[in-house]
Amino acid sequence: MSQSNRYTLGELAGLLDVTLEGDADCLVTGLATLSEAGEGQISFLSNPAYTQQLKSCKASAVILTEKAGAAFAGNRLISTNPYVTFARATQLFDSTADHAAGIHPTAFIAASARVAADVSIGPHAVVEDDAVIGAGCRLAAGVVIGRGSQLGEGVRLYPNVVLYHSVSLGDRVVVHSGSVIGADGFGFAFDGEKSIKIVQLGGVRIGNDVEIGAATTIDRGALQDTVIGDGVKIDNQVQIGHNCVIGNHTIICGCAALAGSVTVGEYCIFGGGSGAVGHITVADRVQVSAMALLHKSVTEAGMVSSGTLAAPTAEWKRNALRFQQLDSLTKRLKDLERKVD
């Protein structure tokens, strides 16, 4: 039987739904990379570029495909998708400290707030009027839950997460430290002399099983809510503007930025540092390359890229100069085509 993140390979094979080739009684206490793993640890191979490391790998077992199994002489956990199996294994060895149910004496809970009996609320956290905190939630130190905001069951908020008023989180949402959800969207009207603030009257609705990285901001809607679908994963330092709608299971990588009123389909991927101008629509299953900027709607699934590829500086400068000449070159080419015709 497993005890405190200790499993036999036989137990792991059952829990991970994979086939074991080797010693079912071998004890495993953790995970490591192919190059660093030692006795009592398991590793995985998902990228063929690392196959050569199997020869010297000292792991007690390796997660790999049946095709790659012959390259490792030790215990093998055969999987059709080693990376997914590895992800599930990390959950079995999670060492994140949990907190017992209870409310720290320095926390402030408004009298009109509704808080389930088994929640954990850390030091100096604030839960404002009419907020609802569901069963099994964990609110770390310094978390602020604004007026009328609602948390589903099993939500985990790390230190100093701030939810403004009228923000709704579904079940099992995770938000990492320093993120702000429900701040005002960037809305102003210029009257000829100064900018007049457009009060943001909407809220934010976040679905189930969403994870949001550290220092990410999701703005509230101007009139309607900003909406984040089920299973969406958002990396660190991402900006999502007001009234955006993000479809289920979309992934948004670090430092991406979406301007207001962008609608993104399901199962999309925005690479690191990518972005989108406001008021466009992105179809389901679109992949946006890192650093790419979407300046118009994308109507079909597939990969979208923009910008220029990295090159030695001297070569890049020459190409940049040629970009400035494209318009004149195009006109000259058309002139030549007319003469030939």
322: Cα within 13 Å, side-chain hemisphere = 7
Q: Catalytic residue among 242, 249, 279, 295, which? A: 242
CB within 8 A of 81, min separation 6: which ones? 46
Token match 């004149």: residue? 328
φ/ψ (deg, to 5) at 267: 60, 35
> Residue 242 catalytic?
yes
Output the 3-class SS for 80-111: CCHHHHHHHHHHHCCCCCCCCCEECCCCEECC
CB 164 within 8 A of CB 143: no
Could you tell me how many helices (H) and strands (E) the chain has, helices first?
A: 3, 39
Three-state secondary-structure class, residue 323: helix
Strand-by-strand arrangement of the 263-264 sheet? 114-115, 132-133, 150-151, 167-169, 204-206, 226-228, 245-246, 263-264, 281-282
- Distance of alpha carbon 151 from alpha carbon 14, whole angstroms: 34
CB 238 within 8 A of CB 219: no
In eight-state DSSP terms, residue 298 is: B
| Pick from 229, 176, 172, 241: nearest CA to 202 | 241
Residues with catalytic roles:
242
